[in-house]
Chains A and B, each alone.
Chain A
Amino acid sequence: MSATDMNAAGLRRDERLERLKLFGLSSPAVLIVLIILVIPVGWLFYVSFIGADGTFSMENYERMIKRKSYARIFSTTFQVSLLTTGLCILIGYPLAYFMSQLPTRVANLCLITVLLPFWTSLLVRTYAWLVLLQKNGLVNNWAISLGLWDEPIKIVHNLNGTLIGMVHIMLPFLVLPTYGAMKAIDRDYLKAAANMGASPARAFWTVFFPLSTPGLFAGALMVFVLCLGFFVTPAVLGGGKVIMVSMKIVSNIELFVNWGAASALGVVLLVLTVAVLWVASRFLKLEQMTGGGH
Chain B
Amino acid sequence: MLNWLRSPASETQVTHGQRLWLYIFAGITMLLLVTPTLIVIPMSFSDSQYLEFPPEKWSTRWYGHYFGSEEWMRATRTSFTAAILTMLVATPIGVLAAYGLHASKLPYIRAAFVLLITPMMVPVVLVAIGAFYAYVKLQILYTMTGLVLAHTMLAIPLVLIVTGSALKSYDMNQELAARSLGAPRWKAFLTITLPQIRFAVVTSALLSFLTSFDEVVVAMFISGGDNPTLTRNMFNALRDQIDPTIASISTIMIVVTTLMMALAQIFGRGKSDD
Give me the 10 closest cross-chain CB pairs, A-B, nearest first.
A229-B123, A25-B100, A40-B130, A22-B104, A98-B26, A26-B97, A29-B97, A190-B11, A200-B12, A246-B125
How far apart are A271's CB and chain B's nearest CB, in angstroms?
A: 11
Report, as a range, how many residues of chain B touch the other chain: 35 or more
> Quick one: which of A157-178 are within 8 Å of B by CB?
168, 171-172
B116 at the interface (CB under 8 A from A): yes
A-side residues, CB < 8 A to B, are: 19-20, 22-26, 28-30, 32-41, 43-44, 91, 94-95, 97-99, 101, 110, 113-117, 119-132, 134, 136-138, 168, 171-172, 187-188, 190-191, 193-194, 198-200, 203-204, 225, 228-229, 231-232, 235-236, 246, 249-250, 253, 259, 262-263, 266, 269-270, 273-274, 277, 286, 290-294
Residues of B within 8 A of A228 (CB): 123
Instruction: Assess the B104–A128 pair: CB atoms within 8 A.
Output: no
Instruction: Assess the B36–A200 pair: CB atoms within 8 A.
Output: no
Instruction: Assess the A19–B104 pair: CB atoms within 8 A.
Output: yes
* Closest chain B residue, CB of each to CB of A192: B11
How far apart are A126's CB and chain B's nearest CB, in angstroms?
A: 7
Given contacts A37-B118, A125-B37, A270-B126, A134 and B160 within 8 Å (CB-CB): no
Instruction: Assess the A38–B115 pair: CB atoms within 8 A.
Output: yes
B170 at the interface (CB under 8 A from A): no
Given contacts A23-B101, A25-B99, A138 and B122 within 8 Å (CB-CB): no
Residues of A within 8 A of B257 (CB): 119-121
B-side residues, CB < 8 A to A, are: 9-14, 18, 22-23, 25-26, 29-30, 32-34, 36-37, 39-40, 43, 50-51, 53, 93-94, 96-97, 99-101, 103-106, 108-109, 112, 114-127, 129-134, 149-150, 152-153, 156-157, 160-161, 164-165, 168, 210, 213-214, 216-217, 220, 231, 234-235, 238-239, 242, 246-247, 250, 253-254, 257-258, 260-261
* Closest chain A residue, CB of each to CB of B12: A200
Instruction: Assess the B116–A121 pair: CB atoms within 8 A.
Output: no
Instruction: Assess the A32–B12 pair: CB atoms within 8 A.
Output: no
Residues of A within 8 A of B25 (CB): 94-95, 98
How far apart are A137's CB and chain B's nearest CB, in angstroms?
A: 8
- What would 15 more interface pairs be, CB under 8 Å, given A35-B134, A171-B33? A19-B105, A29-B116, A32-B93, A101-B10, A113-B33, A114-B30, A127-B40, A128-B39, A130-B238, A131-B40, A191-B11, A194-B13, A232-B217, A292-B165, A294-B165
Residues of A within 8 A of B30 (CB): 95, 110, 113-114
Instruction: Assess the A273–B121 pair: CB atoms within 8 A.
Output: yes
Most chain B CB within 10 A, of A33, A198, A269, is at: A33
